[in-house]
Structures are given as structure tokens and as C-alpha cells.
């Protein structure tokens, strides 16, 4: 070493030490927006993401692709949490459940009716408003990722999460999903479409393998997610189960091929809670984020990147999807004043909850116009569900802490005139209930099922003594009405002995007020079934153990395309109450179906239809016009499939022309040789009516050339 070198070195290290002392402070001062260029709102979300990604260290990238433990990062309320990165100004992700209101034990929130209730309105504007209320309450709680909606098609009627869904039809589910997602996201939070894919049962839900053919996957189970993606959903939750042998959250076909490539989903995929099973395999398959912890996407992922098992480019792609969605939804730019302790419920939301319950209530039977109740002097209310234990919601992650619940007994007592005597018995003593019913002019029996995540119903029967109770009351009082509070279909062995049947689903906190309004005719029921009610247990589409709950860990989708009403139509079984069905206190007439196809040659365009609807009764009310497509039999499609619907409100005597728009997709099927959707030449019948089994108006559209 030359003389003087030592001194030079010590001066250099002194300068370095000085720099080390002052540089962080200087850097911090310099952290204005031009040093954090991704905070510049005028740049595109993609550009901002690129800039941010470049500034991130490996640890920072890994930190965003998984949630954290409450023990290491105390956070309140939320069921999933990704901490903020103050250095880079990345906000925290705060995830909360919410299918019928803010979940995870939150208080000061509104319990809305279950989504199956909202879907029974057959009115996307109801679902849109539902999403807005949910999104507003979540945002007020500080949530920026709302875990919902659940958009899977109901394959198994006993499925314990049926109440969380929109029912058994891919088209209806897709329309409802898009409407609700738009509503949620308009209020701030990023919505999360779940559970992707083939999540159709709770039994053995962590391991069951759904074995399903390509065409069925494309035509039945994928379409609601396609609609959610078109509707701009920001995130998707992959499911616990396997699809064709591979867990959804590490399934490259399900995630990369179908969701990200075919559907061109630009957002991010998070795993269901504990649904991640690997590091490198999941990363390569397309899982962007592990929830709720870091078992596979924490240190293990950092190591996998460091040792080259996972490339930085692959990790960047996952981080990019999360960040770009956060930028698109304004999470970097919007102030979020909300917090978990805030009370977010309002009188308007409570009133809305009641309106959804009214609009989703389906009148199934009304023999001799027993309803609405006129000139009645005494009513017997029977059943725990009617008084002591109203079933207003489903369980599991959907559970909401209701601020109050109006029981049917309270609602009816409040609504009944002073002159009407209302008696009540919980029905645990069947003989006692029968004698109370005998003494009243009208008997209303409230029956229910308790459904929730983690278990399917054992069968479609009403549990406990409820069938016996209805039969005994009906034998005692010829004017018996049954109100069902169930999350899905049930068998009704007593149906011929009662005068009225109402499906009120899980109606939320305003239960009693809503059912009273329907029973007394303040509201004219206009709900329609979003799933089929079977006559017999062995007539359902999934009646063999191989189909449900599965044998040796495999659930075989041997019914293929014939899900829901498609099965009943294909097998000729008559349902007890068909898909799309519902009565009103008024009557309607449909006439003058006019179908105008545009360019139905090589490339079929939209089909426009009009139909005149007249209210032929004496009360204002709403009818739902349903259009089904019947493809040429050589296409191998189910006999008829819902392809358009519209709801119309009419005053007595009023006629309106209702418009229906049918897309090219309705005339297509999935070609498993070419692996794409195609429209074959032939005659396509369009059937228009008021349920899947009542389609009096028909028209034929000819497609002259095959069109891909
Ligand atoms: C459910 C999800 C839910 C998550 C967080 C899981 O068990 O399947 O739907 O969002 O828990 O609560």
C-alpha cells in the first residue's frame, strides 16, 4: 500500500459515513411525486405499474402477493390483509367478506337478503343497487376488496352455499353478477368473483375433484365468470376443490388458459382461504396471490426466485396484475376515510333491504286467491321460523351481524288491523299447533332450512318435524298457507293440501315487514324462481352418489350440460315448480312476438325481439318475460336455454312493448374438436313466455351458413 492511501481511504469512508447519515433524510425529503412517478395520476394505470415495479425490491414484490397473519401484523376486522408499503406509497389491501352485508363480525352494518333472494327479482337493477349498498358499507368500513359475489352455477340443489348464488342458469348468473359487480365497484371496493371454478358442493370441499368435460365447463360453469370479466371485475377467488384432478388454485388450464387467456381477465386471482397448495406450481399456473397467509408465497417464494426456480419476470407478472388493478380502481389516489369501527348502516339501507326481500319473494301457489289476506279476523302463525327463530340468512363467511331482525310474527302483528287476532305457536308440539290453527280463520306455517358454508344439506327434505307440522296444520285448517325460508329448493309432500305457498328465501333483517307486505297485498309479488323445485328426490340432475357427494374423492359431472331445468326438459320430468316460475296477484297476457335478426348469414349479429305484455287483472304488478333458445337437435344442446329476459311493471289494463336482445352466443355451442365456440347452420327456435315450462310464443330464426 502506498503511503497516503490509508488517509485517502479514511477520508472516503468518512464521506460515506456522512452520506449514510444524511442520505436517508435527504431521500425522504426528495420523496415528492416526481421521485415516486407512479403517483402521477395523469399516467395510465399500466405505465404507473411499470414505474412502480421497477422501484420494488424482491422482498417488496413478495410482500404484495400474500396476506399476513393477525399475530404478526395486528389489524382489525378484515379477513385478509396486505400491509401498506410506506416507502413506495402502496396502500394496504383490506379484504372483507360480504355476500349479504359486511361480514367477519362487523357491527353497525345492514343485513341484506341472501343473493338468491335478490336474484329472484330477475331484475339486474335490483342487483346493481344491492352491489351499491354493499360496496358503500364496505368502503365505509375501510374495506377495499369486497369478497363477493359468489357466482357459481348451482349444480347440486343440496349445495350448502346455494343461498349465496344467483341460481342454476349460466346466463341469469352472468347478468346478475355483472350488475352487482358494477354496483360494488362504483362505491370504491374492488369486487371479487368467487369461487372459481366448479365449486359446486361443500361435502369434502377441500379435496373433492370435479370431473367435468370440456364442453360443459365452457357452456355451463365458465359463462358467469366471462360475464364478470366483461363487467370489469377486479379480482377472482380460485376455489378449494380440484377441477379434473388439479386444485383450482394451481390449475394452469383453469387459471392461465381459461381465465387469463380465453376470457382475457386483466385483474388478479387470489386463493380461497387456505386454498393454495404449492409455490412454484401455483405461480406458474397463474395464482397471483395467496390468502390469507404466506405459507407458499412468503419466504418460500422469495427463495424460489433467488434460486431461479421461479423467474423474476414471472413474479413481476403476478405483482403487475395486483398493482394495475389497484391503480385502475383508484386505490392509490382516493382517500379512504373508512374504518372497521364506523357504523355504516342507514335508514335508507334498511328500507332497501326490505324492498329486496319483497321483490325476491316468489308466490308459488295461490289456490282460490287465498292471498292476499282480505277480511280476515284471526290468523294463527305457526313455526319457530315465524316467531322465535326466524331464518333470515345463511351461515359461514356470509354471516352478518344484523342490527335487528323483524320476525314474521312482529311484522304481521304490526301490519294487521286492530280487529285481527294473531296467535302464535312455535310448532314444537304438533298437536298443539294443529289446535291453535283450527281455532283461526287462516293458518300460516313458517318453515325453514339452515344452510351454510362447510356442509351440504343431507337431502331436500325440510328438517325436523316441519313436514309433519304442515300436514297437521293443513288437516286442521283448510285455509293453510306455507311460507318457506330456505336457501334452495325443498320437497313439499304436503303441497296439495295447502292453499298457498310462498318462497321467501333468506330475507334479511326486514323479514317480518316484507312478508307482511306480501301477505296483506301491500306489495304484489313479482319474484321468479332462479332454480327448479323438484317433485321427487330421485328426479334431480345429480341423484347418484357418483355425481354427489362423489365417490372416492371424485364428483362426476355425468349430467353434462343438463344442469337445472335443462335436466328436467331433457328427461321429461315435470318439476314441482319450474325455473323462471312465479305468480302474481294480477294476471298478464303476452302477444305479438316479433323477432328481427340482423345479418344472420356467415356472421350472425344480435337478434332483437319485441313482445306486447298486458296486465289483464285489477292490480298493478310486474311480469318477467323470458326468452329461451332451442337449437337444432344436431347441435346436441339441451332442449331450451334462457337467452334473454326483461321485467315490466304495468298498471291494470296497461299494455307495453317489451324489448328482448339475444346475442350471437345464444345461437352457439362449444365445438370440442376445434376448441372454440361456433354457430352451426340450421333453424333456431326462440320461445318466449313466463317460465321455462310456459313459453306460448315462438319464432324461428334460420342460420344459413356455419359461422365461427
Ligand atoms: C370461503 C370464502 C371466504 C373466505 C374468507 C372461505 O372459507 O370459502 O368464500 O371468502 O373463507 O372468509
pLDDT at residue 208, rounded to an integer:
97
Ligand 1, pocket-test mutation among 105, 272, 274, 452, most atoms within 8 A of CB: 272
Task: Check 97, 169, 209, 272 and give the catalytic one.
Answer: 272
Whole-number Å distance between alpha carbons of 119 and 101:
15
Q: How far apart are the first and last CA of the chain?
A: 79
Per-residue confidence band for 601, with pLDDT thresholds at 50, 70 and 90: low
Per-residue confidence band for 598, with pLDDT thresholds at 50, 70 and 90: confident
Its pTM stands at 0.94
Judge contact between 643 and 628, C-beta under 8 A. Answer: yes
- Decide if pLDDT at 613 tops 80: yes
Average pLDDT over residues 95-108: 98
Q: Of 579, 621, 686, whose CA–CA distance to 119 is shortest?
A: 579
Average pLDDT over residues 59-87: 95
pLDDT tens by residue, 12-35: 444 444 443 334 333 443 444 568
pLDDT tens by residue, 226-258: 999 999 999 999 999 999 999 999 999 999 999
Q: Which residue has the cell 367435468?
A: 212
CA of 520 to the centre of ligand 1 (A): 39
- Decide if pLDDT at 40 tops 70: yes
Per the annotation, the verdict on 511 as an active-site residue is no
- Decide if pLDDT at 510 tops 50: yes
Per-residue confidence band for 605, with pLDDT thresholds at 50, 70 and 90: confident
Average pLDDT over residues 36-49: 97
Number of other residues whose CB lies within 10 A of the CB of residue 283:
25
pLDDT tens by residue, 355-365: 999 999 999 99
Whole-number Å distance between alpha carbons of 365 and 373:
14
Angle 554-558-559 from CA coordinates, rounded to 5°: 130
Residue with CA nearest ligand 1 atom 12: 397
Ligand 1 surroundings by CB, under 6 angstroms: 79, 97, 147, 194, 272-273, 397, 453
- Decide if pLDDT at 167 tops 70: yes
CA of 164 to the centre of ligand 1 (A): 12
Q: Of 60, 105, 104, 102, whose CA–CA distance to 83 is shortest?
A: 60
Average pLDDT over residues 506-528: 98
- Decide if pLDDT at 266 tops 50: yes
CA of 565 to the centre of ligand 1 (A): 29
Judge contact between 231 and 184, C-beta under 8 A. Answer: no
Q: Show Cβ contacts of residue 363 under 8 Å, excluding neighbours closer than 6 positions.
A: 371, 500, 501, 502, 518, 525, 527, 582, 583, 584, 585
Residue with CA nearest ligand 1 atom 6: 273
Atom of ligand 1 nearest to the CA of 195: 9
pLDDT at residue 704, rounded to an integer:
81
Q: Show Cβ contacts of residue 115 under 8 Å, excluding neighbours closer than 6 positions.
A: 99, 100, 130, 148, 149, 150, 163, 164, 165, 166, 176, 180
CA of 55 to the centre of ligand 1 (A): 33
pLDDT at residue 3, rounded to an integer:
37
CA of 96 to the centre of ligand 1 (A): 10
Strand partners, 688: 627, 697
Judge contact between 614 and 650, C-beta under 8 A. Answer: yes
pLDDT at residue 402, rounded to an integer:
98
Residue with CA nearest ligand 1 atom 5: 273
Per-residue confidence band for 707, with pLDDT thresholds at 50, 70 and 90: low
| DSSP code of residue 622 | E
Average pLDDT over residues 156-180: 98
Distances from the Cα of 220 to the Cαs of 194, 227, 562, in angstroms?
Answer: 15, 12, 9
Helices (H), 639-678: none
Share of the chain above pLDDT 90, in %: 91
CA of 64 to the centre of ligand 1 (A): 20
pLDDT tens by residue, 539-574: 999 999 999 999 999 999 999 999 999 999 999 999
Ligand 1, pocket-test mutation among 237, 397, 454, most atoms within 8 A of CB: 397
pLDDT, the chain, mean? 94
CA of 549 to the centre of ligand 1 (A): 20
The beta strands (E) that lie in 120-197 are given as: 145-147, 190-196
Judge contact between 293 and 68, C-beta under 8 A. Answer: yes
CA of 397 to the centre of ligand 1 (A): 6
Strand partners, 4: none
pLDDT at residue 95, rounded to an integer:
98
H or E element: which one contains 12?
A: helix 5-29
pLDDT at residue 34, rounded to an integer:
64
Residue with CA nearest ligand 1 atom 9: 397
Residue with CA nearest ligand 1 atom 8: 272
pLDDT at residue 706, rounded to an integer:
63
CA of 448 to the centre of ligand 1 (A): 24
Pairing of strands 235-238, 268-271: parallel
CA of 85 to the centre of ligand 1 (A): 26
Lookup: cell for 570: 331433457
pLDDT at residue 559, rounded to an integer:
98
What the chain holds in terms of domains, given with CATH numbers, is 14-39 (no CATH), 40-328 (3.20.20.300), 360-571 (3.40.50.1700), 588-703 (2.60.40.10)
Residue with CA nearest ligand 1 atom 4: 273
Amino acid at each position: 500500500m502506498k503511503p497516503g492511501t490509508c488517509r485517502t481511504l479514511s477520508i472516503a469512508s468518512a464521506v460515506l459515513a456522512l452520506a449514510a447519515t444524511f442520505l436517508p433524510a435527504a431521500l425522504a425529503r426528495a420523496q415528492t411525486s416526481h421521485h415516486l412517478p407512479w403517483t402521477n395520476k395523469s399516467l395510465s394505470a399500466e405505465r404507473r405499474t411499470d414505474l412502480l415495479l421497477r422501484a420494488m425490491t424482491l422482498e417488496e414484490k413478495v410482500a404484495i402477493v400474500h396476506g399476513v397473519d393477525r399475530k404478526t401484523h395486528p389489524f382489525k376486522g378484515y379477513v385478509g390483509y396486505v400491509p401498506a408499503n410506506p416507502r413506495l406509497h402502496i396502500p394496504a389491501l383490506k379484504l372483507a367478506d360480504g355476500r349479504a352485508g359486511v361480514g367477519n363480525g362487523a357491527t353497525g352494518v345492514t343485513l341484506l337478503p341472501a343473493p338468491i333472494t335478490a336474484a329472484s327479482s330477475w331484475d339486474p337493477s335490483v342487483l346493481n343497487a344491492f352491489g351499491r349498498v354493499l360496496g358503500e358499507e364496505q368502503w365505509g368500513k375501510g374495506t377495499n376488496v369486497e369478497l363477493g359475489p359468489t357466482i357459481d352455477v348451482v349444480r347440486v340443489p343440496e349445495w350448502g352455499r346455494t343461498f349465496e348464488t344467483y341460481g342454476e342458469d349460466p346466463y341469469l348468473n352472468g347478468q346478475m353478477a355483472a350488475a352487482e359487480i358494477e354496483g360494488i365497484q362504483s362505491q370504491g371496493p374492488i369486487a371479487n368473483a368467487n369461487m372459481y371454478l366448479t365449486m359446486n358442493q361443500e361435502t369434502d370441499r377441500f379435496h373433492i375433484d370435479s370431473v367435468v368435460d370440456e364442453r360443459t365447463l365452457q357452456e355451463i360453469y365458465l359463462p358467469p365468470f366471462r360475464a364478470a370479466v366483461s363487467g370489469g371485475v377486479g379480482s377472482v377467488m380460485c376455489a378449494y376443490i380440484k377441477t379434473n384432478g388439479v386444485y383450482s388454485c394451481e390449475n394452469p388450464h383453469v387459471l392461465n388458459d381459461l381465465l387469463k387467456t380465453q376470457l382475457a381477465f386483466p385483474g388478479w386471482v387470489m386463493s380461497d382461504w387456505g386454498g393454495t397448495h404449492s409455490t412454484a406450481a401455483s405461480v406458474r399456473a397463474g395464482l397471483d396471490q395467496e390468502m390469507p397467509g404466506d405459507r407458499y408465497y412468503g419466504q418460500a417464494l422469495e427463495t424460489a426466485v433467488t434460486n431461479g426456480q421461479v423467474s423474476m419476470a414471472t413474479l413481476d407478472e403476478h405483482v403487475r396484475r395486483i398493482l394495475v388493478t389497484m391503480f385502475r380502481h383508484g386505490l392509490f389516489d382516493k382517500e379512504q376515510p373508512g374504518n372497521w369501527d364506523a357504523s355504516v348502516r342507514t335508514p335508507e339501507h334498511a328500507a332497501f333491504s326490505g324492498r329486496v326481500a319483497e321483490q325476491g319473494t316468489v308466490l308459488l301457489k295461490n289456490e282460490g286467491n287465498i292471498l292476499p289476506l282480505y277480511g280476515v279476523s284471526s290468523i294463527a302463525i305457526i313455526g319457530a321460523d315465524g316467531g322465535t327463530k326466524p331464518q333470515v340468512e345463511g351461515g359461514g363467511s356470509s354471516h352478518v351481524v344484523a342490527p335487528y331482525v323483524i320476525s314474521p310474527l312482529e311484522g304481521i302483528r304490526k301490519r294487521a288491523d286492530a280487529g285481527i287476532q294473531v296467535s302464535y305457536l312455535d310448532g314444537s308440539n304438533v298437536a298443539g299447533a294443529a289446535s291453535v290453527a283450527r281455532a283461526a280463520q287462516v293458518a300460516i306455517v313458517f318453515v325453514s332450512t339452515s344452510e351454510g358454508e362447510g356442509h351440504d344439506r343431507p337431502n331436500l327434505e325440510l328438517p325436523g318435524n316441519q313436514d309433519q307440522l304442515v300436514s297437521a296444520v293443513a288437516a286442521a285448517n283448510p285455509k293453510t298457507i306455507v311460507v318457506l325460508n330456505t336457501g334452495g329448493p325443498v320437497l313439499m309432500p304436503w303441497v296439495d293440501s295447502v292453499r298457498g305457498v310462498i318462497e321467501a328465501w333468506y330475507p334479511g333483517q326486514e323479514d317480518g315487514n316484507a312478508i307482511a307486505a306480501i301477505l296483506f297485498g301491500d306489495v304484489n309479488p313479482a319474484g321468479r324462481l332462479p332454480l327448479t323445485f323438484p317433485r321427487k328426490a330421485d328426479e334431480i340432475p345429480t341423484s347418484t352418489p357418483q355425481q354427489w357427494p362423489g365417490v372416492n374423492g371424485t364428483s362426476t359431472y355425468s349430467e353434462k350440460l343438463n344442469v337445472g331445468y335443462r335436466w328436467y326438459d331433457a328427461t321429461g320430468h315435470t318439476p314441482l315448480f319450474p325455473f323462471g316460475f312465479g305468480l302474481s296477484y294480477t294476471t298478464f297476457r303476452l302477444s305479438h312476438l316479433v323477432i328481427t335478426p340482423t345479418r344472420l348469414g356467415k356472421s350472425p349479429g344480435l337478434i332483437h325481439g319485441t313482445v306486447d305484455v298486458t296486465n289483464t287483472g285489477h292490480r298493478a304488478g310486474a311480469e318477467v318475460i323470458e326468452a329461451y333458445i332451442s337449437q337444432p337437435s344436431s347441435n346436441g344442446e339441451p332442449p331450451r336455454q334462457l337467452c334473454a329476459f326483461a321485467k315490466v311493471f304495468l298498471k291494470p289494463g296497461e299494455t307495453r312493448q317489451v324489448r328482448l336482445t339475444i346475442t350471437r352466443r345464444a345461437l352457439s355451442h362449444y365445438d370440442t374438436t376445434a376448441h372454440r365456440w361456433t354457430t352451426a347452420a340450421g333453424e333456431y327456435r326462440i320461445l318466449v313466455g313466463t317460465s321455462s315450462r310456459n313459453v306460448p310464443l315462438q319464432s324461428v330464426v334460420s342460420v344459413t351458413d356455419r359461422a365461427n
